[in-house]
Amino acid sequence: MKQSNEDLAENKVLILYLLNRLPDGIKNDNLYKIVSSANNINYFYFQELVTDLIQSNFIGTFTNEEDSFVKITSEGQNALSLTKSLLPGILKLKADNIFKEELASIAEESSIVTEYIPQDENNYTVKCKIVEKNETIFEVSTFAASRERAKQISDNWKNNANTIYPKIIELLINGK
């Protein structure tokens, strides 16, 4: 599906507009959630836009821990100030509303992180983390003797971190 130059420019400005509101950057997939909700574009077209913006040095990528993020550059901010008028007011309003909703969901989603890493066929290391503003504030790592056990620990952390974390901290501080 071929996009018009006007649509192309509008979508690039939309990405810059949203990234400008995120001084700490955002995971590429989370940015896609917001952009596609606001302007109904497919993933491959979105990736093409992001690649163009990176090659133009309007956005940059960085890695923190194991995650990769995108962030607007100063060149991107300059380009946005010159092209912001290309963004229709109704699209900007829709993007702002979706941005607020999705950001709350993304923040909650990304604050509880878990992964299990196979050591060999039957043994896994399970890492459970709490991340705030791209910084790991709590991490615990444990051993699991099967994939099922690793998944069980991982799922339990995702669903119950808000009760498990305070208990662990209490035990670390007071020993009870």
Domains of the chain: 5-109 (1.10.10.10), 111-174 (no CATH)
User: Which residues are within 8 A (CB) of 86 and not within 5 positions of it... i.e. 6 or more apart?
Assistant: 9, 10, 13
Q: Read off the pLDDT of each residue in 21-38 and give the average, rounded to a whole number.
A: 84
For 112-158, what is each residue's pLDDT tens digit?
888 888 888 888 999 998 877 667 888 999 999 998 999 999 889 98
- Answering whether pTM is above 0.75, one says no
User: Residue 1: which pLDDT band, with cuts at 50, 70 and 90?
Assistant: very low
For the chain, how far is it from start to end, CA to CA, in angstroms?
Answer: 62
Percent of the chain with pLDDT strictly greater than 70:
90
pLDDT surpasses 90 at 78: yes
pLDDT value, residue 62 = 83
Q: Quick one: 133 exposed, middle or buried, by C-beta within 10 A (0-12, 13-18, 19+)?
A: exposed
- Per-residue pLDDT at 141: 94
DSSP 4: P
Residue with tokens 């990304």: 110
Is the per-residue pLDDT at 98 higher than 70?
yes
